C-alpha cells in the first residue's frame, strides 16, 4: 500500500512538473479506476481552476472533431496550451471500441502542447462523467490554458459529461429538422453557444432562423428547463442549467465552416465573451459550486451503491432476497433496512446485538 502511495506522489509531482508521460498515466489511472486514483485526483484538486473548460457536443457528423482541431490550432497560434478529451461511445457487443476522433487532429500534428486523449464509454456511461471530470482536473493541474471536452450529444449521460465544462457549445448541422427535434429533447437547455457548422451548405439560414425562434420562445416562455426531474434526482436536483431564469446570457448563434477554418475566430471570441460574463456576473462561481455539489452527490451515490452491492453479495445476492420476499419470509422494506443498517450505523453492524 505504501508503495502504491509513493508511486502516486511521484506521478503527481511529475505531472505538476509538466511531464507528458505522467499526465497520460494519470488519466489512465482515472480511466481504469486503478487503486490509488482517488488519492491522485485529491492531490491534483488544489492545483486546478486555471483553465477555461469548453464542452463541444452535437449529433454524429456535425463536424465536432474538425472544429476542435481548428480551435486548437488558433489557440496554439496565440501561444496557449490545449488539452482535448474526445469521448466516443463503446461498442456494446464485445466491450471494445474504435476511437477515431484523432484522425481529424491534423492541424497540430506532433505538437505536444496539444494533449489529445480519446476515451470510450466502456459500457458504464454513468462512471464516464466522473472519469471526464477527473481527467479535466488532471489537464487543468498540468497547466493547460484551454481544455476541450468533445462528445456526441445523444442523451442524458452525454449531457452530464458536457456539464463538466464552463462553456458548452452545441453544434447543429444545417437543414436538419431532425436535429432540431433532438435538440428540443434536452440538448437545447445546456447550450451556452449554438454553432451552425457547415454554414456554406443549403439550409444553413433556415437552421439559424429556427434556432433563433427556439431561443426566443424559451426566453419568453415559462422556463421549460426548470422542471427537470427523473430517476437521478439525487444528482440533478441542485444542478441548474446555464441559461436559466436568473441569468442574462442570451445564447448566441455562430456560423462556421470548420473544414475551411471560417468563423473560428468569431466562435472563439464568443467563447471568450461567455467566459468573461461568467466571471463578471458571478455566474461562474455559482456554477462551480453547483458542479462540486453534484460531484460530491454523485460520488456518494456511487460509493453507497457499491458498498450496498458488496453487502448484498455477502448476504447471498439479490436473488436470494427476492426468494425470501416471494416466500413471505421477508418484505422489501425489511430487506432494504437490513442491507443499509451497516451504512446507517457502522458502529453497530446489523448482525450484532
Partner 1 sequence: MSVEDQQMKIRCLVAKVGLDGHDRGAHVIARAFRDAGFEVIYSGLHNAPEEIVQATVQEDVDVLGISILSGAHNELVPDIIEGIKEYDAYEDTLIVVGGIIPEEDEEFLYENGVDGIFGPGTPLEETITFIEENVKRDE
Residues 33-52 that bind partner 1 (CB under 8 A): 33-38
Candidates 66-74, 122-130, 169-177, 280-288: pick the segment binding partner 1 (CB under 8 A): 122-130
Select the residue interacting with partner 1 from 97, 225, 239, 293 (CB under 8 A): 97
- Report, in Å, the least distance between residue 100 CB and partner 1: 5
Interacting positions 287-316 with partner 1 (CB under 8 A)? 302-303, 306-307, 310
Question: Do residues 240 and 249 touch, judged by C-beta distance below 8 A?
Answer: no
- Given the DSSP bridges, would you call strands 52-58 and 114-120 parallel, antiparallel or unpaired? unpaired
**Are residues 198 and 204 in contact, defined by beta-carbon separation less than 8 angstroms?**
yes
CA distance 246 to 131: 30
Sheet holding 146-152, edge to edge: 114-120, 82-88, 146-152, 52-58, 167-172, 193-196, 253-255
With beta carbons less than 8 A apart as the criterion, state whether 263 and 174 touch: no
**Contacting range for partner 1; rule: CB under 8 A; set: 88-96, 190-198, 208-216, 341-349:** 88-96
Q: Which three cell numbers stand for residue 336?
A: 432494504
Q: Residue 83 Cβ, how far from partner 1 at the closest point, in Å?
A: 10
The residue among 142 and 267 lying less far from partner 1, judged by its C-beta, is: 142
Q: Does 241 bind partner 1 (CB under 8 A)?
A: no
Q: Which of residues 81 and 176 has its CB atom nearest to partner 1 in the complex?
A: 81
Cell, residue 257: 465552416
**H/E element holding 50?**
none
What is the closest distance, in whole angstroms, from the C-beta atom of residue 39 to partner 1 in the complex?
A: 10
Among the listed residues 103, 296, 314, 343, the single contact to partner 1 using CB under 8 A: 103
**Biggest alpha carbon–alpha carbon distance for the chain:** 75
Residues that bind partner 1 (CB under 8 A): 20-21, 23-25, 27-28, 31-38, 91, 93-100, 102-103, 109-112, 115-118, 120, 122, 124, 127, 302-303, 306-307, 310
Amino acid at each position: 500500500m505504501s508503495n502504491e502511495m509513493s508511486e502516486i506522489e511521484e506521478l503527481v509531482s511529475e505531472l505538476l512538473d509538466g511531464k507528458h508521460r505522467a499526465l497520460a498515466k494519470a488519466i489512465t489511472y482515472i480511466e481504469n479506476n486503478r487503486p490509488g486514483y482517488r488519492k491522485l485526483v485529491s492531490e491534483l484538486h488544489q492545483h486546478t481552476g486555471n483553465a477555461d473548460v469548453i464542452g463541444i457536443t452535437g449529433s454524429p457528423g456535425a463536424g465536432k472533431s474538425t472544429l476542435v482541431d481548428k480551435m486548437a490550432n488558433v489557440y496554439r497560434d496565440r501561444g496557449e496550451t490545449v488539452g482535448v478529451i474526445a469521448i466516443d461511445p463503446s461498442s456494446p457487443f464485445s466491450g471494445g471500441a474504435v476511437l477515431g476522433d484523432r484522425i481529424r487532429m491534423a492541424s497540430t500534428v506532433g505538437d505536444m502542447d496539444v494533449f489529445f486523449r480519446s476515451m470510450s464509454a466502456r459500457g458504464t456511461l454513468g462512471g464516464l462523467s466522473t472519469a471526464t471530470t477527473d481527467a479535466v482536473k488532471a489537464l487543468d493541474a498540468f497547466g493547460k490554458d484551454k481544455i476541450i471536452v468533445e462528445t456526441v450529444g445523444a442523451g442524458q449521460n452525454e449531457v452530464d459529461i458536457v456539464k463538466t465544462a464552463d462553456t458548452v457549445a452545441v453544434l447543429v448541422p444545417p437543414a436538419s429538422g431532425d436535429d432540431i427535434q433532438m435538440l428540443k429533447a434536452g440538448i437545447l437547455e445546456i447550450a451556452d453557444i449554438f454553432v451552425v457548422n457547415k454554414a456554406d451548405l443549403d439550409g444553413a439560414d433556415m437552421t439559424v432562423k429556427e434556432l433563433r425562434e427556439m431561443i426566443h420562445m424559451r426566453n419568453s416562455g415559462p422556463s421549460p428547463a426548470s422542471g427537470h426531474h427523473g430517476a437521478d434526482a439525487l444528482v440533478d436536483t441542485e444542478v441548474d442549467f446555464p441559461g436559466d431564469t436568473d441569468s442574462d446570457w442570451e445564447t448566441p448563434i455562430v456560423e462556421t465552416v470548420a473544414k475551411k477554418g471560417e468563423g473560428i475566430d468569431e466562435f472563439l471570441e464568443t467563447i471568450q465573451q461567455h467566459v468573461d460574463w461568467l466571471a463578471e456576473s458571478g455566474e461562474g462561481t455559482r456554477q462551480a459550486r453547483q458542479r462540486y455539489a453534484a460531484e460530491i452527490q454523485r460520488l456518494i451515490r456511487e460509493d453507497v451503491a457499491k458498498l450496498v452491492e458488496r453487502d448484498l453479495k455477502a448476504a447471498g445476492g439479490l436473488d436470494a432476497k427476492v426468494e425470501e420476499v416471494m416466500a413471505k419470509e421477508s418484505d422489501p422494506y425489511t430487506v432494504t433496512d437490513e442491507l443499509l443498517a451497516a451504512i446507517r450505523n457502522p458502529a453497530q453492524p446489523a448482525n450484532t446485538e
